[in-house]
Structure 1
């Protein structure tokens, strides 16, 4: 009897879900459109630090042995690309900097021995990542040049190694694909409860409670439909990401499953909360839109969180989408172990959001049901 009732509710939930055009748009079409736009514009530009290039020029107004040695050593730095192989005039260099034809102009010292190497950049780009990188490289270059002149061998050096359980380097397409998958699953939950508002407004929930139907089975059937929708989203976006944009996936099925299940429950609980206090479908969609947009740009979906301003860094740490996207990346591209403490900390924060949302929503629905009987 219970199985028959569940099957009937499950079929009904599928019909209600796919009948809503908003659910289709926000759950399937919007993530696909957004992913295609971002991958087309930025595809591969964040793939690795080795892809960084800075376009520069050199001024050597008074050639001497010191400047010749410095220029020769500068040309050994692979990230520097030269607009002109030969040194140019200071006037020409300043004009190129002002017109943004080069990222920086390096002026060699005019005197032998102790002197200053000048770096000229465009003020509009002074705080940019490229300018900061050039300044850092040049600072390190002068330190090594000073040691070489003094005949001192460096005692300590820095070596860097980047490791992951994935066999290939992570590209921006991989990063964006998994971010969009996390976003689409989250939006399915945030927007997927809009039918609850319609049912309550038309009195269908009250009538349903008066029938032999079990409300627990009704909720379970709704959750199963949402999870199937999430699986469909993962499959569609993964196929587009891999076969159209060349993304590379490295699965850890257990990590992916846990992150997916917890995330689906959490965002459905948040959608359930929105439906509990929204009097109209328009009001529900407005709240869901605001929440989605806020988390979309502050949860590391499109860009690494480190790129956010320092005064905004605390916001992603309290948003559930941040940890859901991280969990999906662990299961889809990093093949991360489920034993990671960082992973479970994220699961805990997500779960807290889900439990609080569900309890508040349940209390609001209960109070409205009691009010309706008076």
Structure 2
């Protein structure tokens, strides 16, 4: 019972310390909530809408070919004619320059003319909308060529989308799980800043000189941070589901395993940073750099597959990448705990935690030996 009373007192002390630590609350709770609300407010309203392209059509010299093409282009579902009717070349160029439309299409000026002119804004030349519009027009011209040649299409593409739940997934679902993973990782890393302050003030050294069990001290700190992470995952899930309409299809066994091992691993990484940081400023500087890299390279906001090929190998070694994937698999896709790919990601993440914990423990022990000499 003495051990339990000691653990209880240490746990309450850790809880009070965390409650007073403003940086841990900001990075662990408020920053992820603010970031998630901003991104979801920007993307949630448009993520589920149909893709549309606003264009201006130029048909200054109507003829049989241009009229036929005009009718066909007008019936492309994703293409919206801005003015509802053709405009002059000058008006179209002005609309493109002012970004009132995504592009302008100049129709053939005679029956013998066989080309369509696409006018785009130079600033948006490499944009997604421009690339999509170019692809659509290329397909349109290809089909028109087949029709003119009298060729019958032989092959076609069929499309089917499947999901493990009853509702289609959206960017909101993707972002929610990414932000949950990011917030837990930040809570684990930035939450260890109090160890730096305790060591700087000599509190850890004094604690070692008391009958207090240092193992219980570490265990109480870990339990407190796991509870803190549970608050994070519940709060962000409630905001995502009830305010932004996110969908969650949770495999609870898999989620618990990923959550526990992920939270412990990022606590270990924060523990490692605290072992060689002389001041809280130094700790926050290192933690912020690592957090910045992981935030944008670990698939929190956008899929890793969409990143440049030379950057993807960097993403594939970061622990947050696998934590994000693990939470996404168990919270959206209901992936079973017996899934081999899930455990591969968990293994890489745990390896990060184990290595950094051993290095941190060695550095703390080394500093303790040096201090007693």
Name the TM-score, length of structure 2 as normaliser.
Answer: 0.94
Aligned residue for 1:63, secondary structure, equals: coil
Which residue of structure 1 lines up, in the alignment, with residue 344 of structure 2? Answer: 345
Aligned residue for 1:57, secondary structure, equals: strand
Aligned residue for 1:189, secondary structure, equals: helix
Q: Deviation per CA, 1:116-155, whole angstroms, max 9, x where unpaired?
A: 2221101110000000010011111111221222222222
Give the C-alpha shift of residue 230 in structure 1.
Answer: 0.6
Shifted more, 174-183 versus 297-306: the winner is 297-306
Distance in 1 separating the partners of 2:250 and 2:45: 21
Which residue of structure 2 lines up, in the alignment, with residue 255 of structure 1? Answer: 254
Tell me whether 1:31 sits opposite 2:50 in the alignment: no
Contact 1:44 1:173 in 2 (8 A): no
Task: Provide structure 2 residue ranges, at least 5 long, that are not aligned to the other structure.
Answer: none
Q: Deviation per CA, 1:214-268, whole angstroms, max 9, x where unpaired?
A: 3222222111111111110111111122222222222111221122112101110
Which residue of structure 2 lines up, in the alignment, with residue 201 of structure 1? Answer: 200
Distance in 2 separating the partners of 1:147 and 1:262: 58
Alignment of 1:107-118 (within 5 A): 107-112=106-111, 115-118=114-117
Which residue of structure 1 lines up, in the alignment, with residue 371 of structure 2? Answer: 372
Which residue of structure 1 lines up, in the alignment, with residue 127 of structure 2? Answer: 128
Tell me whether 1:15 sits opposite 2:38 in the alignment: no
Aligned residue for 1:101, secondary structure, equals: coil
Contact 1:60 1:107 in 2 (8 A): yes
Shifted more, 331-340 versus 145-154: the winner is 331-340
Aligned residue for 1:177, secondary structure, equals: helix
Distance in 2 separating the partners of 1:76 and 1:357: 60
Name the TM-score, length of structure 1 as normaliser.
Answer: 0.93
Distance in 2 separating the partners of 1:68 and 1:346: 57
Tell me whether 1:40 sits opposite 2:41 in the alignment: yes
Distance in 1 separating the partners of 2:133 and 2:344: 37
Shifted more, 94-103 versus 201-210: the winner is 201-210
Aligned residue for 1:337, secondary structure, equals: coil
Task: Decide whether aligned partners of structure 1 residues 155 and 97 sit closer, same or farther in structure 2, where only a CA change above 3 A counts.
Answer: same
Q: Deviation per CA, 1:270-317, whole angstroms, max 9, x where unpaired?
A: 100111001112221222122212211222222333444444333322
Distance in 1 separating the partners of 2:294 and 2:307: 13
Alignment of 1:119-268 (within 5 A): 119-268=118-267
Contact 1:273 1:361 in 2 (8 A): yes
Contact 1:44 1:171 in 2 (8 A): no
Shifted more, 336-345 versus 188-197: the winner is 336-345
Distance in 1 separating the partners of 2:235 and 2:352: 28
Distance in 1 separating the partners of 2:296 and 2:104: 35
Distance in 2 separating the partners of 1:25 and 1:80: 45
Count, aligned residues: 372
Aligned residue for 2:316, secondary structure, equals: helix
Aligned residue for 2:34, secondary structure, equals: helix
Distance in 2 separating the partners of 1:53 and 1:46: 12
Which residue of structure 2 lines up, in the alignment, with residue 305 of structure 1? Answer: 304
Which residue of structure 2 lines up, in the alignment, with residue 84 of structure 1? Answer: 83
Give the C-alpha shift of residue 112 in structure 1.
Answer: 3.0
